[in-house]
Amino acid sequence: MRASERWEQAAIAAPLAADAFLDRVTAAGARYGEGPVCVHRTPHFVDRAALTRWARILPRFHRIVRHARAALLADLDREHDSLAARIGVDAQAIAWARIDPGFQSVAPLARIDAFCAGGHPWFVELNAESPAGMGYADALSGVFTADPAYAPTGSLRAFDTCAALVATVRDIAREWGHRHRRLTVAIVDRLSVPTAPEFLLIRDRFRRAGLVAELVEPGDLRFDGDALTAGDLRIDVVFRRLLVSDLRARPDEGAALLAAYRAGRVCMINSLRTALLHGKGLFALLHDPTFPLSEADRAFVQRHVPWTGLLLGVGGDALREQALRAPEQWVLKPLDGHGGQGVVLGWATPAAAWARAVAEADHHVLQRRLPEERDVFYDVRAGVRQERLVDLGPFLARGRLAGFLCRVSDGPLANVTSGASQVPVFVDLA
């Protein structure tokens, strides 16, 4: 019997009222804004074979991304003619990418958005900048391991994603040069964002690990030429949840942070070099036949990354014509978008609107549509089990699997901002 079937039987035998379940999720801190981030009393399961498959392919993908990173960094001084500029990286982001962060890894913490229909992983985006969801994932694992349905289901194992997060922050801080004092971490973003409840979860995990940790808004930071501070807090590490696009949009607010980073007086995780990898142009680069990859790596990309092409500048070209001829095969995405914002699905968009979107796209990618993974989840609000789209995103800590962000949705986009629900992922060891 599959783990999902065992869970369903146990859940039926131990019913839980919707309010009681949602209260547990909220009490655990798994909130998006004021609402619970999870409304489904069904986890997602991966078996031993799937876990082995992920553990094998993720380091390979990470190595290919590191190769791309090296190529992007190598010619940043060419500015508008650089490889980064050719895949749509903003000029200000390129300038910031020239700053040495004090450690080698560009994105020691990352997340891949993926679909796994038929057990075959496809990578659709790399969140290299500020991967959200780690704190939520562990909080939900705690809720579900305390659920009456958990114990009867057998040999399930939860991921301790934040343990990998803490270990990575410590490792990178040592590489950067921190040696003597107790490590002090500032989690930096605006506290008005709907994901702010997760900052509290991560802060508390840092504190349980013996680190000093506080939530800090970028405008509250000060730099005196020696130390980055917030009030009486002297900061060693900035755990950056503030996006590069936010820094560009409000440069005065981030001035102290940028000055300390430029002076090498604070360790920023992830570094500002993430803009080189975070934009969706990276996957177009990997599919570019002129980009140097070994035959084996190119075959790996073709097996696991849907074909992706760039649309930079408005005008007619062969790629736009392909998208107009067969809209059901394509997804249009803004290069720097996040949370599903600006994504246009060719198969779900009226023909005239699709033609207009493709014609006007000037800082976008077109990506091949993938087969969807779907499974059945119990929605406590409606009291019914329904088939849902599954977006299974592995978290990477220095290139190794650290857990999963699993989002389930009744619509074609599996983003929490568009109404998706996050559920925990358990490994079925049976």
DSSP code string of 25-43: HHHTT-EETTEES--BS--
Alpha-carbon distance 259 to 256, whole Å?
5
pLDDT tens string 160-213: 999 999 999 999 999 999 987 799 999 999 999 999 999 999 999 999 999 999
| Amino acid (1-letter code) at residue 90 | D
Strands (E) in 335-412, as ranges, are 344-345, 363-368, 374-379, 384-397, 400-409
What value does the mean pLDDT take over residues 10-24? 95
User: Is the predicted pLDDT of residue 309 greater than 90, yes or no?
Assistant: yes
Task: Give the CATH architecture of domain 3-279+373-428.
Answer: 3-Layer(aba) Sandwich (3.40)
CA distances from 113 to 51, 92, 121, 330, 364 (A): 16, 26, 10, 17, 18
Whether the link from the prior residue into 415 is cis, omega within 30° of 0, is: no
User: Is the predicted pLDDT of residue 277 greater than 80, yes or no?
Assistant: yes
Strand-pair partners of 333? 365
What value does the mean pLDDT take over residues 355-374? 94
Domain residue extents for the chain: 3-279+373-428, 281-368
Alpha-carbon distance 67 to 415, whole Å?
29
Task: Return the pLDDT at 417.
Answer: 65
Task: Return the pLDDT at 155.
Answer: 87
Task: Return the pLDDT at 337.
Answer: 73
Task: Return the pLDDT at 295.
Answer: 97
Task: Return the pLDDT at 313.
Answer: 79
Q: CATH classification of 281-368, choosing from 3.40.1440, 1.10.3470, 3.30.70, 3.30.1490?
A: 3.30.1490
User: Is the predicted pLDDT of residue 316 greater than 70, yes or no?
Assistant: no
Quick one: which H or E segment has residue 205?
A: helix 196-208
Q: What angle do CA 279, 261, 263 make, to 5 degrees?
A: 140
Residue recorded with tokens 């980055």: 228
DSSP state of 152: G
Q: What percent of the chain has pLDDT over 70?
A: 97
pLDDT tens string 334-350: 998 776 688 999 999 99
User: Is the predicted pLDDT of residue 315 greater than 70, yes or no?
Assistant: no
Smallest Cα–Cα separation from 169: which of 205, 145, 118? 205
- For the chain, give the mean pLDDT: 94
